[in-house]
Amino acid sequence: MTATAPARPAPLTSSAPTSSWRLRWSKLWPPLLVAVIVVVAWELAVDVFDVSSYIIATPSEIAAEIVANWQLLLTNTWVTTQEVVYGFLISIVVGVALALAVVRFRFLDRAIYPLIVLFQVVPKVALAPIFILWFGYSMTPKLVLIVVIAFFPITLNMVLGLRRTDEDLLLLMNSVGSSKNEILARIQVPTSLPYLFAGLRIAITLAVIGAVVAEFAGSQNGLGHQIQFASTQLDTAQMFAALIFVSVLGLVLYYLVGFVEYLFKRRFPHLALADV
Amino acid sequence: MTVSGISARGIGMAFGSTVVLDQLDIDVPAGSFVTLLGPSGCGKSTLLKILGGILTPTVGEVMIGDAPARQAVAAKQIGLVLQRPALVPWKTARENVAMLRSIAGKGKARDQAVDDALDLVGLAHAADRYPHQLSGGMAQRVSIARALAMDPAILLMDEPFGALDAITRDSMNETLASIWAATGKTIVFVTHSIGEAVFLSDTVNVMGVNPGRIIDRMTIDIDRPRRADLLDSAEFTGYSTRLREQLVVPQQAGV
Ligand SMILES: Nc1ncnc2c1ncn2[C@@H]1O[C@H](COP(=O)(O)OP(=O)(O)OP(=O)(O)O)[C@@H](O)[C@H]1O
Ligand SMILES: [Mg+2]
């Protein structure tokens, strides 16, 4: 983080987007080139070595599969997207609430926080079948699994941020008789927001994992279910097609969170500087 | 505003096994200007926080007026200037000054007192800047304005002018002296600078180190108002010399 950020972001001039786009392009083409080479080599290798199509599908077969099953893939993507987004939003509420509670009440800090940390040794993915057992084939077990996996980085980062407050500032607040709530709201929460965003970026990727695993464990739709189902049919091309859709979904959601963070930092540049 | 004095008895402070202050008594008469002068690390900042009731000593008692120091805090009588500016990074200078004032319930967030305080420290032009756009000295002056805007009965200042150049420092000293003369606040002022202590104080408390204690109290009987040209007078140099002897000799003996 630089200490020299200007007070207001410079207005976009006509030359700025072009140059930043060029910058992007110069960074983008090397990995893109490698990707193209890999895909071509993949296609050729499968042909040359005559690998049977249920072990690995060629890129062209996967592409054909995507075109043929476009509607089904979209439907399943929509199902998974809903699970991830709702689960992520609930994770934010749970994660932030826990962080605030732990920092605000000494008792909770001592009683609950160690348990939350200890709970992280449980391989939460293994909880999926239990949640299916409890909540059936509805959306609920997916949301529960996502929250269980994704709340922790949010809580952890927010607690860190809430505790990063300037000691002298706390002293000053105390000197005018501020209540703990007032200090929390006026000083600690704003200080913690850049940390919260770091937690959100981790949480969104975990949320996608949670959704897919929950769908593996028991579901009638969603991209995870589609991968699972295709595997029972030895339909490798369909498995890869669904895999690509999950990956793109994860990427899009990750950048969406990054974009919200960017908007936030642009709107409140001085808040973003708070931890300098 | 009833001005109160501070009286501390038998103050001892330890951080873990480190004894910072031992068996310390100090009186700050109502409406007086009292300085704590001493070498780095002797416990001046610690003592100042204890006197303001925002740090509880390990042993001993601090009274402000007739009540325990905590009550003066609850009554929002304490204005604090710490050694570091400790500004809120996401608020402008003006918002920083206004925040504590409004929390203390001493007026609306944006009123004249806020701008007056900034004007007093010579920062009216920088009111809308954010802390990272201020120099160290400017940030410290914002923190002084923040304390002044609270209009506290007791002003506790920890090396407030330490980060300023000599010229600004002299003019801030004069400003502070005139604020004190006009408002009759009780001021406790921490400094490394002997000249500053003599110029401003009614009483200078010289502190010794290991453990922190008061080794001498000197009353400065120079007429007020004191002007900058005082600095060259024999009277002024006399006090300075005696204070310097106090500070240097015991330290050499201790080493
Ligand atoms: N919170 C703390 N925990 C542990 N030790 C502390 C703490 N605060 C102060 N001390 C110690 O107490 C001693 C006195 O510190 P203090 O800040 O009061 O000194 P000072 O006289 O203000 O020094 P300076 O002139 O350099 O500001 C130092 O040795 C310091 O290390
Ligand atoms: Mg100090």
Nearest CB partner across the interface for A172, out of B76, B90, B100: B100
Nearest to A117 by CA among A148, A90, A152: A152
What pLDDT score was predicted for residue A6?
Answer: 39
pLDDT classification of A4: cutoffs 50, 70, 90 = very low
Residue recorded with tokens 């004069």:
B174
**Burial per residue of A14-49, b for 16 or more beta-carbon CB atoms within 10 angstroms, e otherwise:** eeeeeeeeeeeeeeeeeeeeeeeeeeeebeeebeee
CA distances to A225, A242, A250, A251 from A70, in Å: 16, 10, 18, 19
Q: Which two tokens stand for residue A10?
A: 């410079």
CA dihedral A248→A249→A251→A256, nearest 10 degrees, is 140
The pLDDT of residue A28 is above 90: no
What pLDDT score was predicted for residue B205?
Answer: 96
Q: Is B33 exposed, middle or buried (0-12, 13-18, 19+ CB in 10 A)?
A: buried
Mean pLDDT of chain A: 88
Q: At what angle do helices A128-135 and A189-217 cross, to 10 degrees?
A: 80
Q: Which CATH number fits domain B1-77+191-255: 3.10.129.10, 3.40.109.10, 3.30.530.20, 3.40.50.300?
A: 3.40.50.300
Ligand 1 pocket test target in B46, B50, B84 with most atoms within 8 Å of CB:
B46
What pLDDT score was predicted for residue A231?
Answer: 92
What pLDDT score was predicted for residue A260?
Answer: 95
Longest pairwise C-alpha distance within chain B: 54
> Nearest 5°: phi and psi at B133?
-100, 5
Nearest to B5 by CA among B146, B172, B203, B223: B203
Q: B86 vs A166: CB contact, 8 Å cut-off?
A: yes
pLDDT classification of A21: cutoffs 50, 70, 90 = low
Domain residue spans of chain A: 23-52, 54-267
pLDDT classification of A5: cutoffs 50, 70, 90 = very low
Query: Which residue out of A1, A168, A169, A172 would a mutagenesis test of the B interface target, given it has the greatest number of B Cβ atoms within 10 Å?
Result: A172
Q: B103 vs A176: CB contact, 8 Å cut-off?
A: yes
Q: Each residue of A258-271: pLDDT tens digit?
A: 999 999 988 888 87
Q: At what angle do helices B166-183 and B136-149 cross, to 10 degrees?
A: 0
Q: At what angle do helices A236-267 and A189-217 cross, to 10 degrees?
A: 170
Alpha carbons A224 and A204: distance in angstroms, whole number: 16
β-bridge mates for residue B27, sequence order: B7
Q: What is the CATH number of domain A54-267?
A: 1.10.3720.10
Instruction: Tell me if chain B has a CB within 8 Å of the CB of A184.
Output: no
Count other Cβ atoms within 10 Å, centred on residue A205: 17
Q: Each residue of A182-225: pLDDT tens digit?
A: 999 999 999 999 999 999 999 999 999 999 999 999 889 999 99
Instruction: Tell me if chain B has a CB within 8 Å of the CB of A12.
Output: no
* Contact residues for B232 (Cβ-Cβ < 8 A; gap 6+): none
Q: A268 vs B90: CB contact, 8 Å cut-off?
A: yes
Nearest to B236 by CA among B250, B246, B226, B248: B226
pTM as predicted: 0.83
Contacts of B99 in chain A (CB under 8 A): 186
What pLDDT score was predicted for residue A54?
Answer: 77
Q: Each residue of A129-182: pLDDT tens digit?
A: 999 999 998 999 999 999 999 999 999 999 999 999 889 999 999 999 899 999
Residues of chain B with confidence (pLDDT) below 70: 1, 109-110, 249-255
Alpha carbons B199 and A18: distance in angstroms, whole number: 62
Residues less than 5 Å from ion ligand 2, measured at CB: B 45, 83
The ipTM value here is 0.87
Can you tell me which atom of ligand 1 is nearest the CA of B46?
A: 18
Q: State the DSSP H helix or E strand holding residue B59, giving kind and residue range, or none if neither.
A: strand B59-64
Contacts of B86 in chain A (CB under 8 A): 166, 168-169, 171-172
What pLDDT score was predicted for residue B231?
Answer: 85
What pLDDT score was predicted for residue A15?
Answer: 42
Alpha carbons A244 and A259: distance in angstroms, whole number: 22
Contacts of A276 in chain B (CB under 8 A): 89, 132
Q: Are B193 and B39 in contact (CB under 8 A)?
A: no
pLDDT classification of A273: cutoffs 50, 70, 90 = low
pLDDT classification of A19: cutoffs 50, 70, 90 = low
Query: pLDDT exceeding 70 applies to what percent of chain A?
Result: 90
